[in-house]
Amino acid sequence: LHFAFLYLIGDTLSKYKDCFNTTPTIVLVAPYLFINVLSVLCGYYAITELSEYTLFFDVFFQYNSLVLVLNALLLFLLFMRLKMKSRVINYLASSCLAVYLIHGSSLFLNHLIKDAAWYIQTLTNSVFVQLLYVCLLGLLVLVCCIAMDKILIPVWKFANTISGKMEKTSIGRTFLEYSIVK
């Protein structure tokens, strides 16, 4: 449902692109920066002052929280203004869905990202250094997810080729018919 909601937002943005492009940039940048600063400050407060799970985490940090969706929407509106013709950026941008899916998996999220974030908290008391480490962690996660996607592209192409050839054989058609019936 969340994914469908995001596509609905994207479709709406696409239809009203001209309207959003005439909005002054400061109207988009100011709330975007405000939300980011507020999220960092609230996150720091939550980690240092709150010991139990609260509604606060749902509002600011849950996967589909309104604050994160609004923040992503504002960032997307800012990027809509840019006309990018870079091959590198377009190459990396083609992995957005893979990054979205891979970093949200339980292996990545529960065992790598969360453990690393808690470890970063124990390294130093300096908020600035912790923020720097978290940014580096985010960059590392992004690079790992893109690398996994790019490495697996030939594997998926090969599997697609094999499955296409299998469909043409009698065994493949029988298997396909059997799987459709079930």
| Residue 69 burial class via C-beta count within 10 angstroms: exposed 0-12, middle 13-18, buried 19 and up | middle
Per-residue model confidence (pLDDT) at position 31: 92
Q: Which of 114, 109, 101, 86 is nearest to 148 (CA)?
A: 101
Per-residue model confidence (pLDDT) at position 151: 92
| CA dihedral (47, 49, 50, 56) positive or negative | negative
Cβ count near 116 (within 10 Å): 16
Per-residue model confidence (pLDDT) at position 125: 80
Q: Which of 38, 37, 48 is nearest to 126 (CA)?
A: 48
Per-residue model confidence (pLDDT) at position 67: 80
Q: Which of 34, 59, 33 is nearest to 46 (CA)?
A: 59
Cβ count near 161 (within 10 Å): 10
Per-residue model confidence (pLDDT) at position 16: 83
Query: Model pTM?
Result: 0.56
For the chain, which residues score pLDDT lower than 70?
46-61, 63, 172-173, 175-182
